[in-house]
Each structure stands twice: as structure tokens, then as C-alpha cells.
Structure 1
Amino acid sequence: MILEKGRGATVTPLGEKLLWAEQRVAARLQPQMENLASELNIEIHKEMADLTPVLRLHASHGYAVALLPAFAKNFQLDLQYKSSHDALSALSRNACDLAGIHIPANIPTESVIERYSHHLKKQNNKDSYKIIRFITRQQGLMVAPLNPKSIRNINDLSKSGIKFINRHKDSGTRALLDQLLSDQNIMTNEIDGYQDEEFTHSAVAAYVAAGMADVGFGVKAAAKHFNLEFIEVASEHYLMICHERSLEQPALIHFLEQIRSAEFHNKVYQLAGYSAQKCGVIESLTDSLS
């Protein structure tokens, strides 16, 4: 801190860098800390005499998913943050009850679906799976206030002088970005920073807010949280897959009651760029992934 007479205290450049570093580290560690909290919570309740049913949810970290522990009423939520592929793999092994995945809206999804189908085909009968609609969210470019590099769309990522920060390769957001780049015939080696990765939307936004990159790709809620400008590129459906038989489990019944509630929907709509329009609707695998 620097103290100036009549002006109070200001943060030094080093102090500002340390503050941003703290925020980036916190954003990176948030999923791991929440995983640990969930594990500890479940272990504590295992020792209680009056046990409530447990729902095991494996899903990628996100703002709406992070709301769910507060809505675990009449059941225990064992929430583990995993990539969509790891979640589907766990579901196929019966290591979880629900697996979260992402499907782009209003753009071709064949390549994404093919990657997911690799896990689902391990079952003899694909109809044994059901889709539970969760939320729809806006994905786009996060840039500094006033957009100093005049970034307008995906094509600008390959321009000279533009520094990008990416999501990790197993994330649904990375899969969406790669498809968008492919659709525009943009080579990833043309993008400065494509190989630089962060593990959460918040970490990407913090990276841009700290001035370490000019642009990142992620959800609007993260951009708003870090006072960044947001350029919408695509909408994305966040879905959850379960075995059809699991729909009769008490924990999943209570889970559906909660995500269909007005209270939960209100919380979702408080997140910038999020919609709960079909939250809790059950569909067949074919209807959702076609």
C-alpha cells in the first residue's frame, strides 16, 4: 500500500498483482475444495443414525451446479466435480447416479455427441438412459472493460496481438470452442495462448481481469462477476444423464422436486446468462442427443 497525504491509501502494482493472483488461485481450487467438502459431509452423515438417501452426482463445475448443495432437502448430495467424459464413465460403471454433460444449442453437435456415445454404447440398451434437463447458459468471449482490443467474434482470436486464455481440454466449454473454431476453419496454432489452460470459468475470467490475457471463452456469469465485457457466441444446454431405473430412487425424486421448484429457478435466473426454462424435464436419450 502507498499512503499519500490527502489521497488515502492506494494499492501498489505489486500489491495489485498479488490480489489478482489470490483470486486466480481461489478460482482454480474451488472445485477441489467443494469436492472435499462434499466427501466430508457424506462421511459425517454415514455415522448418523437417521440416514437420508444419497444422490451421487458427477458433473463439471459451474455456477448453477454450485447452487445444488443448498437445495439438498430430504436427501444427501454427493457432488463430485468431474469432466463430462469422466462423469459418463462413472455412470456406465454405476459409480454415480447422475452425470452432467453439455450440448451446444442451435449448432451442429455430431462431433460432441459422438464423443459422449463412446461411453453410452457400453450399455447393451441405450434406452436404459434418461436425460434430465438442467439449465441453458450463454457462452462467449470475455474481454476487459471498454474492449480495448476491439474483439468482436471467434475469428478475432487468431489476430496478431491478441492473447487468449483457454479452458482445460476435458471441459465441455473447450469442446464447444473447438467445434466453433473448426466450423470457422480457424487453426488452433494460429491462436496465441490456445495451449494456456485454466480449470474453471472463474479462473479464466480472473486471468483476463488481471490483464494476463486479452480474451477468454466462458459463461456470462463469470464475466459479470469480474466486471468484464461479454460477447455472446453460443448457447449451451447443461443436461444430466441417469439410468431409467434411478428415476425411482427416493434421492433422485427429491432432487427433481428441488430443481423444479420456483425457489431454485429464481436462483438460476439471478445468474447472468442462465435460463431454467426446462429445468427438471425428463426426456429420452434419443430426443436430447439428436
Structure 2
Amino acid sequence: MQDPSLLTTAEIAAYLRVKERTIYEMVNRQTIPFTRVTGKLLFPRRLIDAWVEAQTEHPAGGPAAPPPIYAGSNDPLLEWALRESGSGLAVLASGSGEGLAALAEGQAVLAGCHLLDPESGEYNLPAVRARLSGGIVVIHWARREQGLLVAPGNPLGITDLSDVAARGLRLARRTAGSGSERLLDVLLTRAGLTPMAVQPAARRVATHADLATMVATGEADCGLGLKAVAGPLGFLPLIADECFDLVLRRRDYFEAPVQALLRFARGPDMAARAARLGGYDLTDLGAVRWNG
């Protein structure tokens, strides 16, 4: 019988010769490739093998090639393009900060981020300079529109974040370390509020789609999210030109996965998809923002 392509927690623990508890700790720290199917943890064997190879130390040479993984911020247009382009990159959307960490540790080829520096007002470059060094390239992906997602027709009459705080409305929150959480903190500060001023919903979510679902099902009254996932929900714009970038090592820019993605992204299907989703400006897609 062939080895299964997806391993359970017990199977991956045996495969790596560690305790199951260690696997759960690695999942919590986002340091091992994994997926969730109906709430169950599964581990793609192909990605695990590539990840193990990337951890191998080479006494006489440089580090091994990173596993074929996109890590970082959740973006529905980018994740669609990664699939449709035939890039071969698996998606591990775990937040902007975790994406940069995965890239730094050789656990991903490509990282996506939209980290707003509250002091300079600049996106991504301050974080990249602080966390990565040597042979790093930052490629622009898109400008995105973010705002408050509210129930269809906005029956609560929500106006802005100050209104949400004053009325004690439940605000859906993204996972800690995500670019959207940092953006929320900046927007609250601009409104003269602290993060404690707003009442969070019962749980945090990893993706914009999950956040939209919380609002749609009444689990939250509103949440900061992309216009692209609003669908039938109401949308109150807050940021019209959020900068989303791709970060990678210079050596990987010319490799087939990244070139396949960028080639597809410049085509008509990409433009049509962005127009259907809404809230995207692809004017400078592919431009090099930093080469350090």
C-alpha cells in the first residue's frame, strides 16, 4: 500500500519520531505545514518532506531550498492566483508577521504582508528591514480597500469605529500578528481609542472570509475586512489604498513558481477577477518596492 498523502497527528508524530504534544505545539506556533479539514488537523506528506529537507544543515554549502509554500497574510485574489497560475505553491495563510517569520526561517518561498508602520505611515518595508536581511526583494501585489463589514442594509446604523466602541457592539477580530489587527490598532488610535475600547466577538478568525461569515451569521455585529469579501454585507470604507506586498529571497524571484504567478497576474483573467471581487487596484502589480 502506498503511503497516505495526508497524515494524521498521530501519524506525523510517528513519522518525525516526536510526541504528539510536540506536534500540537508546532501547529500552535505555525512552524510546521498543516491544514484543517472539518476541524481535523492533517499534514500533507509532500510538504512535510520538503519542510524536513529545508531544516537539514549543510556543513559545506548554503541552506537547502525552502519548501514550496506561500505563507503570510490572507488575500482572496492572491490565493486564487496561486492556484490558477499553476505556481505549485501551497498556501499557509497565518498572518503577515508569521509569514515574514516563515520566510526568515526557510519555511516558505513567498510571504505576503500588509503591515502598516504607525510611526512612518509606510507599509511593509520597515517590518521587512527589521526582520530580514540579505538578498530580500519586496514586490508590490495590490492596493486594497478595507473597511467595516456590517449586516446587509446596516440595520444597526453603524457609522464608524467610535460608534462601535460607544455602543459596545461586538467587533470580529483577526488573529494576533495579522496585518489587519495592526491596521485596526492604528485606526483605533487615530480615533482616540485603545484596543480595549471595543468589545471583541467570542473568537478570533484567520481569514477575511471567516470574518465576513461571523458578521453574516450574527456572531459579530461588525468587523474590519476587505471589500472583496463583503458580498451581500454592508461595507463602510475606512482605508482605500492599503498596500499589500510579496516578500521573497532574490534567488527565488527567478524560479518557476514565482515567475508563473507573476506571469499569470499580468494577464486578463487576473484583471477580470479583481474587478469582480472589487476593492483592488492592480496598477503597480509586479513593481519592485525594495531590493536589499
1:70 to 79, 83, 91: 83
Deviation for aligned residue 1:195: 7.2
Deviation for aligned residue 1:184: 2.1
Aligned length: 240
CA shift digits 1:81-104 (9 cap, x unpaired)? 222222212222232221111145
Question: 2:287 maps to which residue?
Answer: 281
Task: Specify every segment of 5 or more residues in structure 2 that has no aligned partner in the other structure, as ranges.
Answer: 1-34, 50-66
* 1:230 is the counterpart of 2:235: yes
Q: Match of 1:87, as an amino acid?
A: G
Question: 2:272 maps to which residue?
Answer: 266
Question: 2:100 maps to which residue?
Answer: 88
* Greater relative contact order (Cα < 8 A, sep 6+): 1
Question: 1:178 maps to which residue?
Answer: 185
Deviation for aligned residue 1:266: 1.7
Q: Match of 1:239, as an amino acid?
A: D
> 2: distance between equivalents of 1:251 and 1:159?
48
Distance 1:38 1:57, change over 3 A: farther
Question: 2:74 maps to which residue?
Answer: 61
8 A Cα contact 1:201 1:218, kept in partner: yes
Distance 1:196 1:33, change over 3 A: closer
CA shift digits 1:190-231 (9 cap, x unpaired)? 21226742222122222222223221111112221xx21100
8 A Cα contact 1:103 1:109, kept in partner: no
Higher helix share: 1
Distance 1:277 1:40, change over 3 A: farther
> 2: distance between equivalents of 1:272 and 1:83?
22
> 2: distance between equivalents of 1:106 and 1:269?
30
Q: Match of 1:134, as an amino acid?
A: W
Task: Specify every segment of 5 or more residues in structure 1 that has no aligned partner in the other structure, as ranges.
Answer: 1-30, 45-53
Distance 1:187 1:243, change over 3 A: same
Deviation for aligned residue 1:56: 3.0
Normalising by structure 1, we get a TM-score of 0.71
